[in-house]
Amino acid sequence: MPHGDARQPLLHARGVRKIFPGTIALDGVDFSLHAGEVHALLGENGAGKSTLIKCLTGAYRRDGGDILLDGESIDPKGTLDAQAYGIGTVYQEVNLLPNLSVAENLSLGHQPTRFGMISVRAMNARAREVLSQYGLDIDVTRTLDSYSVAVQQVIAIARAVMLSGKVLILDEPTASLDAHEVKMLFDVVRSLKERGLGIVFISHFLDQIFEISDRLTVLRNGQLVGTEVTAEIDRVRLINMMLGRELEHETRAHGKLHEAAGDPRLVFSGFGRKGRIEPFDLSIHAGEVIGVAGLLGSGRTETAEVLFGVAHHDSGEARQDGAPVSLMSPRQAIKAGFGFCPEDRKTDGVIADLSVRENIALALQARIGWMRRIPDREQKAMANDYIRKLDIRTPDAEKPVGLLSGGNQQKVMLARWLVTNPSFLILDEPTRGIDVGAHAEIIRLIEELCAQGMSLLVISSELDELVAYSHRVIVVRDRRHVAELAGDQITTGNMVRAIAAPEREAVN
């Protein structure tokens, strides 16, 4: 598929806008898909991938822009409507009915009938025929959940193609498949491509993008970064597009070279968990900031989760000031003086209906135990103190935290841990989805905390942010720690190369 294809695109989105209260989720994004093309859609969390898909399929009403199908403007009112236009979607979590038979799942809603009754025989025959086109020869009378996720995925695709037949959107279809299953899925995708379907492919596995896609479009913070022909772009450029840096030899802004003094505060050796993160070694000194760089799904969040005991480590050991320390649960980690601000604030972080005061007091209260309640007066003083220190924008400490903006929620999360006076704080994407002002404040805070002697581990996809405050940077790829950068080596260029390098170790 040449880049400047003169043909009319099958599906064409022009200047699509979607605004949520407080944020612009899509800011005038263009996207085009040709018949017989696999078009990958890339971007970090919150870049706007799924919002774009939902606008295309009518799950969201767009606030601006046009969507053209075969040159004609369409305005789908919902996913069923989009299906009628010819746009089908298959999600990562197969959204079929696991306890119905394969044939029933395929024909649900339009079963062949005979004298007003569903003809089971005709339904089964048709299901077998449809699946044979996908190289699947299975017993269609068995329930869907008796088959592997990959087979279910193919069945979901078959159903989507049957119902729509022009455009197929695959939203992270490979996330839970193994290599063999991915190959099977890709065979199906290729055959559909040959049949002339336009396929939108969303994944954060770069290898798969390079293998299957003809073109790719990168989104970042709701904006279009660019559309490229896959064969003409290399990994480093792609990662630069995704992470938003045009940088080759940017060095540290302020050569705050930190010579680790004395013995490390924390030493993790051979720490890891099967299937989540390969065993790694890590030592952290007092007053040191360890940055973690890597793409979504690379193992960066998993690193944080085994350190904090959210996912139990099944290998290795941890030592704190030389003595072994058990980290099999968040409670134990907190007892050891750890704190953890997770990436997904909404589901893992704030307790939306509780007040700012209660959210700030929660971790400290949990550590003290339920018997000794922190008196209201102290809670209030504590909350007001941090509302002032971190400039949390709230009318008062009693406001439910769910009503605050993302940046202020993030500050409440930080306050929750700061009142516990931790010695080691893990921040997973602390600056994601918050406005520019709050962004700068949080970075300043990170630097302040480490100046006070706290150890931090900060995960971020903002590479120049990592450059600004990290003493060392761990690069994570394919659920492995692949590189550790220190001092002068900490440049965004080095990080991007380490993230990109498919086979070789990137640094030096």
- Under rule CB under 8 A, residue 347 binds other proteins: yes
Site string for other proteins, 267-306 (x = CB under 8 A): ----------------------------------------
Q: Which is nearer to other proteins, 65 or 330 (CB)?
A: 330
Minimum CB–partner distance for residue 422 and other proteins (Å): 11
Which two tokens mark 161? 């193609």
- How large is the C-alpha radius of gyration of the chain? 25
Q: How far apart are CA 220 and CA 100, in angstroms?
A: 40
Q: Which is nearer to other proteins, 76 or 339 (CB)?
A: 339
Contact with other proteins (CB under 8 A): which of 117, 323, 371, 451? Answer: 371
Angle between helices 406-418 and 436-451 (to 10 degrees): 10
Minimum CB–partner distance for residue 369 and other proteins (Å): 8
- Under rule CB under 8 A, residue 312 binds other proteins: no
Contact with other proteins (CB under 8 A): which of 1, 122, 138, 362? Answer: 362
Part of the chain binding other proteins (CB under 8 A), chosen from 59-67, 133-141, 212-220, 357-365? 357-365
Minimum CB–partner distance for residue 165 and other proteins (Å): 39
Contact with other proteins (CB under 8 A): which of 76, 272, 349, 407? Answer: 349
- Under rule CB under 8 A, residue 363 binds other proteins: yes
Contact with other proteins (CB under 8 A): which of 86, 299, 342, 407? Answer: 342
Contact with other proteins (CB under 8 A): which of 150, 350, 474, 506? Answer: 350
Q: Which is nearer to other proteins, 77 or 373 (CB)?
A: 373
Contact with other proteins (CB under 8 A): which of 162, 330, 445, 489? Answer: 330
Part of the chain binding other proteins (CB under 8 A), chosen from 75-83, 256-264, 286-294, 371-379? 371-379
Buried b / exposed e over 209-230, threshold 16 CB at 10 Å, is: bbebbbbbbbbbbbbbbeebeb
Q: How far apart are CA 247 and CA 191, in angstroms?
A: 39
Q: Which is nearer to other proteins, 4 or 21 (CB)?
A: 21
**CA pseudo-torsion sign 171, 175, 176, 182:** positive
Q: How far apart are CA 26 and CA 60, in angstroms?
A: 12
Q: How far apart are CA 454 and CA 457, in angstroms?
A: 10
**CA pseudo-torsion sign 472, 281, 45, 386:** negative
Q: How far apart are CA 315 and CA 378, in angstroms?
A: 41
User: What DSSP string describes 98-126?
Assistant: TTSBHHHHHHTTS--EETTEE-HHHHHHH
Minimum CB–partner distance for residue 361 and other proteins (Å): 8
Place of tokens 């559309």: 227
Place of tokens 């690193």: 303
- Under rule CB under 8 A, residue 406 binds other proteins: no
Which two tokens mark 351? 């307790």
Which two tokens mark 345? 């604030």
- Under rule CB under 8 A, residue 311 binds other proteins: no
- Under rule CB under 8 A, residue 337 binds other proteins: no
Q: Which is nearer to other proteins, 348 or 385 (CB)?
A: 348
- Under rule CB under 8 A, residue 358 binds other proteins: yes
- Under rule CB under 8 A, residue 348 binds other proteins: yes
Part of the chain binding other proteins (CB under 8 A), chosen from 147-155, 224-232, 365-373, 466-474? 365-373
Minimum CB–partner distance for residue 163 and other proteins (Å): 33
Would you say how long the chain is, in residues? 508
If residue 479 lies in a helix (H) or strand (E), which one and from where to where? none
Q: How far apart are CA 195 and CA 49, in angstroms?
A: 26
Which two tokens mark 250? 């940017």
Contact with other proteins (CB under 8 A): which of 3, 373, 393, 444? Answer: 373
What contacts 19, CB < 8 A, 6 or more positions away?
25, 63
- Under rule CB under 8 A, residue 343 binds other proteins: no
- Under rule CB under 8 A, residue 310 binds other proteins: yes
Per CB under 8 A, which of residues 409..428 are in contact with other proteins?
A: 416
Which two tokens mark 94? 């197969």
Angle between helices 376-389 and 406-418 (to 10 degrees): 120
Minimum CB–partner distance for residue 370 and other proteins (Å): 5
What contacts 480, CB < 8 A, 6 or more positions away?
277, 278, 280, 299
- Under rule CB under 8 A, residue 366 binds other proteins: yes
Where on the chain is the footprint of other proteins (CB under 8 A)?
308, 310, 330-331, 334, 340, 342, 347-354, 358, 361-363, 365-374, 416
